[in-house]
Chain A
Amino acid sequence: MSAVEPRTETDDARMRREEAELRAAWETPRGWRHFSACNNQTVGLWYTGASFFFFLFAGVLALIIRAQLAVPGNDLVSPGTYNQLFTLHGTMMMFLFAVPIFEAVAILILPQMLAARDLPFPRLSAFGFWCFLIGGVFVGGSILFNAAPDSGWFMYPPLATDTEQTGIGADIWLLGLSFIEIASIAAAVELIVGVLKCRPPGMRINLMPLYAWYVLIVGGMILFAFPPLIAGDILFEMQRLFDWPFFDAARGGDPVLWQHLFWIFGHPEVYIIFLPSIALLAMIVPTFARRPILGYGWIVLAAVGTGFLSFGLWAHHMFTIGLPWLSLGFFSAASEAVAIPTGVQIFVFVATLLAGRAIFSIPMLFATGALAIFVFGGLTGVMVALAPFDWQAHDSYFIVAHLHYTLIGGMFFPLIAGLYYFYPFVVGRMLSARLGRWSFWLMFAGFNIAFLPMHITGLRGMPRRVYTYPEGLGWDWLNLVSTVGAFTMAAGVLVMVWDALRPGKPRAPRNPWNAGTLEWVAGDPSEPWGIRSVPPIRSRYPLWDQPNLIREIDEGKFYLPGAPEGKRETLITDVLDATPLQVLRVPGNSFKPLIAAVLIGGSFIATTFHWWLLAIASGALGIAAIMVWLWTGTAAIPEKPERGAGLGVTLPLYASGPASVGWWAMFITMVGDGTAFISLVFAYFYYWTIHPAFPPAGMAPPDGALMLGGGAAALAAWAAMLGARRANGGGHAGRVRLLIGAAALLSVAGAALLLLAPWQAGLDPVAHVYPATVWVLVLWTALHLGVGVLMQGYCLAGALAGRLTARHDIDLRNVVLYGHFAFLTVATTLAVLVLAPRAT
């Protein structure tokens, strides 16, 4: 069917040739080169394995905690060690397991679900994985050197900003996790663009598997939730490293600002963890109910609603800081309201089962257990959402119980259901149903034995995060029971791990659960190409509704059946209707993402130890490595403009601007970047509200003339880039180079003027929070102009190397897009620092 196919070739020979082509193009490297793999399947597997390893590690920490608390007055571990244990347990479970495993599983199964050969940025996925692994080992490994963070996963200042009381652990937390957050955002960009642009032809947005919807929603949430934490981390680390007083009340700062920034991240985070697991259930339940999901529109709307509401609840983590009645009422109401979309999602599952002919299976066993635990956690959540009850429950073991019920029921059990469900398609083997039952009952019973009593322990007054407790307060036997339960649950986890790793499991038949979605087309997981040919889709459950689909996919009857040029290619389709738009060449295996991750990671790690020269050198080399990676792996000009994509369709091989995936990635990234910036602006206005005058009496705002001069230069740089894009479209190569060069020089000038402005006004960032906030905004803005200069330099080099033509202008258009956001940043900074002080 393919356009390049010779007429005389027999079907058999054609299939063999196509398979050989695909195998050659997509082969996973062996030996030590295995680690150069840049393919969602391989990276997804590494990612899943690594985050699961971190889960086991953090679980062992929990067991040590439970052993210490088994009896009153215990001295198994010292308070110093205990504080590291609980801090790292929470930190690792959240940042190294719960969020990454969502991204890992999504990278692993989403392409198959969308019948995509790969997601659009495999090297970005690999880079994200290596960042995650390096950061994770750095953060987790710190406890082996007695250097782990020890002020709680919430890191409240002024305890955690005090460099006397908290050692290097706090820096490891801030820098290690910032590094990982960048990886998380990278994965979110990859997944969002993947869902929007890499669907099979015909899979309109309302035909997407529910999992894809959840990935889209959660990806968006990551984009808005993580940046406030990154902004908070920046303020925090500036205080720790340079004594800028953001959270020091004595110098105008406020420790509560950190709590706002942390929980504006921290609460959506809970739903970022929860929704992807519900998404797994949304795939599992219809399969075993043997019917399509009932209320597809309902569940999508409910998930969107949960995502939105989750950003309006953060202050319920702060009910005890002394909020005014109005805030308490508002956040109580919002926290109760989120139960409604959650209820809709749960009843969509229940109704689907009622409307189907449910069959029993291990995934369903775990799904039912998940429901039993999660609903209980949801009900205690309704209780603590009421501020008066929370005043008692807050920071007591009641909350420990509540949060574990929601997370274990809402995230862990669904994930294990997903493990049993997807294992055959990922590994090609079946897990044992007998061991599955053992594992389930040990985990389910152990969990409830451990955490049910904690509700009572908490209401009987036991606060969280105490390394030991006196006897006679009624907590003794409750704690002992909890400890027994924790070890029982651990035994269940061990059974599961044993089953997953043991050799000799039976081979899985194809589509063993008789599911309806496309990931089950996958046959032998040792074939690297993903899907044999990309089918046109007409239904939400194509394997149920489109007869002979698997056979025809295997025979290469559909799109992209081969790789005649030996290149890795995937199909790009339209966002809403999934009409085919482009055959995207994706880059192949490379060590460059690994090298870049090591160098950038090295820079973060060196900063932790205050090895400034190494940090700068490593960071600069890292940026250089990324430049080389971009230069060699992206925006290559294809040898021909288009190719036959199968089924008689011919598609372009190159697209730029909004038609290209790179443009979307830049746009999405900059939305996240903008959110971080807005969080810093929020900090400025937050300080404004708590001070009678801001700038405070006796302090001058940064020099207005210099600020405006900097703004004018930035505006001119922006205009020059717009001019360059226009000139490039008209084919004026010389003018393009001139304008890009001018833009770079103007950006440098703008950044310099902006930095000079607070300097000129004599603003000392250590003295008070006002100058510190001014400096942070100015530095952020100047840094963005500086990154713009790097990009402009890259474009200029491309223009000089002949890579920039009137048609092949991806880089230029992406840099112009970056420029829009950078200029918006400059304009906002000017408005805040120059106009706002004059408005009072």
Chain B
Amino acid sequence: MTLTETKMDNKIGFFVRNQSIVVPIAAIFVAFVLGGILIFLQGVNPLVAYRAIFSEAWFDSDGLLRTFQKTTPLVLAGLAVTVGLRVGLFNIGAQGQLISAALASALAGIYITNLPPILHVIVALFCGVIVGALWAGIAGVLKAYRGVHEVISTIMLNSIAIGILDYLVSNPFQEPDQSLQRTKKIAETAVLPNIGVIPFGFILAIIICLLVSWMLNKTTAGFRFNTVGKNKFAATYAGINMKLMVVTGMLLSGGLAGLGGAIETLGITYRFEPAFNAGLGFDGITIALLARANPLATIPAAILVGTLRAGGASLQFETGIEPEIVDVLLAITLLLVSAPILAKYLFKGKAQKSANVTSGWGN
């Protein structure tokens, strides 16, 4: 073997070892190429369209703030799905948990008065976290004690949350003299400030991300989570209380989604309006799968999705392409990271098997 061949082997080896990074990046690349073809078919130069997205999202101080604002709840929604996946639960109800928390913290921000600024923010955030956790907790209890699969129960709870919130903001908590279905603005004392172009909530989300990563990788609780997620039978045999783990996992997952909704209300929208947070929970699924259920990797994944969401709005204005192209880009990326096609094509026999994380009915 010559020296150059060995070097080549090392290089390929590097890529094979780092599949979990290489595959998502390749997936994003392929998605942009395919998306580019779609944009081209609509008579627009794809490069112009992509430049419109990124220049709006990154190279404009208003845009940059908006990108971080979009990213913040996405980090937490992605983290919520990630934590669930690590315990073998597929929480596709982050959406419902996030919006109920967003309303809860808005109400805390409006109707609790006489609190000093910092305490008010903490109380309002806390209300959101609790409501998000409890909403997911329903699915956890149904799964642990009645064997109802969390994918179905959380999707039902999404619809139920949407209906209840729709009622609450069009009747008891609607802003007076307002035809839009939305609440009043929260009190000044409950506002999460921006620090330059960085919202304070973003910093909070990053800290939570680090904490969750530490919890999952360095603590006994995290070890239990991973054991349950990897092998239920081994976990039961080792004496881990499965019912308790399922409920805890859902509570934690819902709490994270809830924090995302609370931060969005207190730091970005300052009130609750149903249209504000449409789709965030589902982007959370994309982010978690893109990050391969690694809590730290949810940050770059969320930044990517946040960028596309923030830049997508200006796309229609500048090129006439509908902002839903972002949904297509994300859908293709999701398909390529979750299906093993790309990994098999790139690495042949050395491809890692895609994870089996979820359970069947009633177990």
Interaction A to B? no
Chain B interfacial positions (CB closer than 8 Å to A): none
Residues of A within 8 A of B (CB): none
